Amino acid sequence: MNDLRPQAHEAIGAQVEAKRHHEERETELYRLRSARSLIPGHAVARRDSIVRGTGVPVTELLYAAELIDIAEGQEHWRPAAEKVLRGYGMRLLVPHAHQDRVRRFIDHNDMRGLVEYSVVTAVSAHVPRPGPGTLAGKLTVDQTHPHERWLAGQLARQFDHVCVESADELDQHRIAVTIKGTVKLPGNHYRKDDRPELTNRASYILGANTAAKRQALEEVAELAVTARETAKQAGALTQRLEAQQIRGASAAAAAEHSSWSHLDHGTHTQLATTLARQIKEIRTGDHDLRELEAQRDEAKTGFEAAYGIWQATVDKIGQLSERQAKLGDLRLAEQDLPHQVDEPDLAYLEEVYAGIDTPVTVDNVSTVRKLLISALTNRAASAKSKQDLAREQVRNAIAAFIEKWPDSAPDDSGDVDLTGADFAALHTEIVTRRLPEAMNRLQHMISEELVPTIAQLLYEIDTAARGIEKRIGWVNAGLRRVEFNEGRRLQISWRANLSPDVRDFRTEVDQLIIAAAGAKKDPEQHVRQFKRIRELMKPFTGTDQEAQRWRRNVLDVRTGYDFYGVEVDHEDVITNTHRNTATNSGGEQEKLVAFCLAAALSYNLADADSDSRPRFGTLMLDEAFSKSDENFSAQALSAFDEFGFQLVIAAPIRLSGIVEPYIGQAILIDKRVSAEGARSNGKSATFGELADRRFAEADGDARASA
């Protein structure tokens, strides 16, 4: 019995501890099923008291751990991060605006535990970035929270521990942490915290995903079994202890008798038998007792039924709790997913979902998601196939465009990814601006307007050239009527001397005219035709000196001729050629100039219907031939007369005999100089009066002019 007592006490203690542990885990599990935070319940309750006492919204009093999580792909570093950041993660983040209220409340009240908090202040524009190989680099901060930039900066500064695989690498760094959680601090200080609340997954605090923690807490059922087993063991040991105590008491009582004869066993047995018989008789004869026993049995049956309902209800609650946990996990998982969808994308997703033909419920969300993903994957594969086909078609189209119109292509690399957008924009511009129609109009304009216009320009140039030649013929006809020298007539000769600009222009126009018919049917010919016209028009619209020189050469047909004078006899044999007046005497030069002047005036004033005579023929000559030989002067005047000019001549009296045959009336201007000054008088005079005055002037009697 003495051996059983310590065992019984130990079993009772284990029972109490197992029951306490089970109740704590069960309470935490129920809390996590509806909570979004991994923060322990006592810390959440402590924060709730601060929220109630200060009025600060709970959303603005978060623990740092609620905003910190392990970065994607770094989950194997979670145990180490939980150990290193445990203290910092349990720190409340208090906005600067609520600092005074929170500080006063915590200072004035018993918080029944440790409270640490940091005031979140303004953040500078530059936030330090953690190194990729540091513990801070393996963490993420909730980017949707206003404290994100402040907290990220704090983590980068305070947790720049270099992450190493083993303790052998710790000494290589000033501050480092192994994957097992051993921390090396400055000054050769090392620390490793393996307390249960840091190593048990059920005690993790970083992040907001409670699923893993609930999974760790699912040991509640095992704890319940343990509690029942410890209770059973404790009960069994207690019963054994009580039985041993009874047996001990009986043995002690028996030990007080000195002889078996003192024990009247038969009397007691007979008494027990008598009492049992009496009880049976009472039950048989007592109606009320039988009724009570029946009620007892009925109550027992009702109790058992109620117990069954209770047990079923407990099971149902367990099932619903499990379903609640799963739905909570599903809700958290769904809340973490992006839900903002643009209208076109939403319409597309609804179309795909309608094709699944499986209504979604809370129980088949995963199944419907898989079906939706499968349908989207199939559509993506089909779209990818179509995209590849379209890509190849676009590539071919780009190559064809570059080959046909290299000057208009945005790029000549043929890279669809690099230049596809540029070619698409070009296509949109072509369609928007209706360039095909414009191309047709341009083709019509080139073939029906521009080429004929350019051909007409060349025709006008040729017509002007022929006009020059025709007018030279009119001039020569007039010159044939006047003797230039004895037995000879002066004629104007010419020689075509086309410049390279004119010859090239004629060649290009000929090519345009020749290609005009083919360009109407062949687009490529049409493009070449357009380029020819564009190049041909450049010097017409240019403003530089070269363009101006080109236009003079091409448009002024006179620049394409060399003119000179020849003397011919009555058989048109050339006897002399005049290219300038350098070799002639003074009189001959003046006569040649006079003939050329008469010819030039006739060239500009005569036409085809005037018999080589000018339409406007009044010609005034002032002091003409005053120094010329009389024969040369007479020949020059005869040239003007034969060309049909009406002469108005101002000449000295001495030339009156020369000009007399070519004028019909004379006016005598007498100019005299006296002491009173110079004075002139004019009057009509006959040719006889002119002759008298001429003779008198020759004798020195007077000075006059006619």
Q: Predicted confidence band at 703 (pLDDT cuts at 50, 70, 90)?
A: very low
pLDDT at 2: 52
Write the pLDDT tens digit of every residue in 134-184: 999 999 998 888 888 899 999 999 999 999 999 999 888 999 999 898 999
Q: State the average pLDDT over residues 209-228.
A: 54
pLDDT at 217: 47
Q: State the average pLDDT over residues 211-221.
A: 52
Is residue 438's pLDDT more than 60? no
Residue 656's closest CA among 698, 701, 618, 617?
Answer: 698
- 459-to-326, 492, 509, 517 alpha-carbon distances in Å: 95, 25, 11, 19
Residue 156's closest CA among 141, 170, 166, 146?
Answer: 141
Mean pLDDT of the chain, nearest integer: 76
Q: What is the DSSP letter of 341?
A: -
Instruction: For residues 407 and 620, give the distance between their C-alpha atoms in angstroms, rounded to a whole number.
Output: 64
Is the distance from CB of 588 to CB of 567 less than 8 angstroms? no
Q: What is the DSSP letter of 488?
A: B
Instruction: For residues 37 and 61, give the distance between their C-alpha atoms in angstroms, rounded to a whole number.
Output: 13
Residue % of the chain over a pLDDT of 70? 73
pLDDT at 617: 73
Instruction: For residues 432 and 428, give the distance between their C-alpha atoms in angstroms, rounded to a whole number.
Output: 6
Instruction: For residues 89 and 36, give the distance between their C-alpha atoms in angstroms, rounded to a whole number.
Output: 16
Is the distance from CB of 436 to CB of 568 less than 8 angstroms? no
Residue 529's closest CA among 538, 519, 539?
Answer: 519
Count CB neighbours of 659 within 10 A: 22
Count CB neighbours of 452 within 10 A: 15
Q: State the average pLDDT over residues 326-353.
A: 74
Question: For residue 338, what are its two tokens?
Answer: 């992006």
Question: For residue 330, what are its two tokens?
Answer: 């599903």
pLDDT at 701: 47
Is residue 706's pLDDT more than 50? no
Is residue 462's pLDDT more than 60? yes
Instruction: For residues 334 and 328, give the distance between their C-alpha atoms in angstroms, rounded to a whole number.
Output: 10
Q: What is the DSSP letter of 585?
A: -
pLDDT at 704: 45
Q: State the average pLDDT over residues 116-131.
A: 81
Ramachandran category for residue 69: left, alpha or beta (phi over 0 → left; psi -120 to 50 → alpha) = beta
Residue 628's closest CA among 691, 690, 586?
Answer: 586
pLDDT at 461: 79
* Sheet order of strands, 561-568 included: 489-496, 561-568, 574-578
Instruction: For residues 55 and 51, give the distance between their C-alpha atoms in angstroms, rounded to a whole number.
Output: 5
Write the pLDDT tens digit of every residue in 515-525: 776 666 666 77
Question: For residue 201, what are its two tokens?
Answer: 């997954």
Q: How far apart are the first and last CA of the chain?
A: 182
Write the pLDDT tens digit of every residue in 526-541: 677 777 777 877 887 8
Residue 49's closest CA among 105, 118, 117?
Answer: 105
Instruction: For residues 669 and 703, give the distance between their C-alpha atoms in angstroms, rounded to a whole number.
Output: 10
Write the pLDDT tens digit of every residue in 595-620: 777 777 777 776 666 666 776 777 78
H-helix segments, 340-415: 343-356, 365-404
Question: For residue 461, what are its two tokens?
Answer: 């140039």
pLDDT at 118: 93
Is the distance from CB of 208 to CB of 332 less than 8 angstroms? yes
Is residue 30's pLDDT more than 80? no
Is residue 237's pLDDT more than 70? no
Write the pLDDT tens digit of every residue in 36-88: 567 887 888 899 999 999 999 988 899 998 899 988 888 889 889 988 988 89
Is the distance from CB of 376 to CB of 352 less than 8 angstroms? yes
Is residue 334's pLDDT more than 60? yes
Percent helix, percent strand, percent coil in the chain, to nearest 5? 65, 10, 25
376: helix, coil or strand? helix
569 CB-side CA count, 13 A:
3
263: helix, coil or strand? coil
Q: State the average pLDDT over residues 448-474.
A: 76
| Cα angle, residue 120 at apex, residues 115 and 121 outer, rounded to 5° | 145
Question: Which is more confident, 7 or 375?
Answer: 375
The pairs formed by 546-551 with CB atoms below 8 angstroms and a separation of 24 or more are 550/501
pLDDT at 99: 92
Tell whether the torsion through CA atoms of 194, 197, 201 and 203 is positive or negative: negative
* Helix axis angle, 500-519 to 523-541, nearest 10°: 150
Amino acid at 566: V
pLDDT at 190: 92
Is residue 705's pLDDT more than 60? no
pLDDT at 600: 76
Write the pLDDT tens digit of every residue in 544-579: 888 888 888 778 777 777 888 888 888 888 888 888
Is residue 224's pLDDT more than 60? no
In degrees and rounded to multiples of 5, residue 570 shows phi and psi of: -70, -15
HEC string for 293-309: HHHHHHHHHHHHHHHHH
pLDDT at 95: 93
pLDDT at 271: 78
Write the pLDDT tens digit of every residue in 466-485: 877 888 887 777 778 777 77
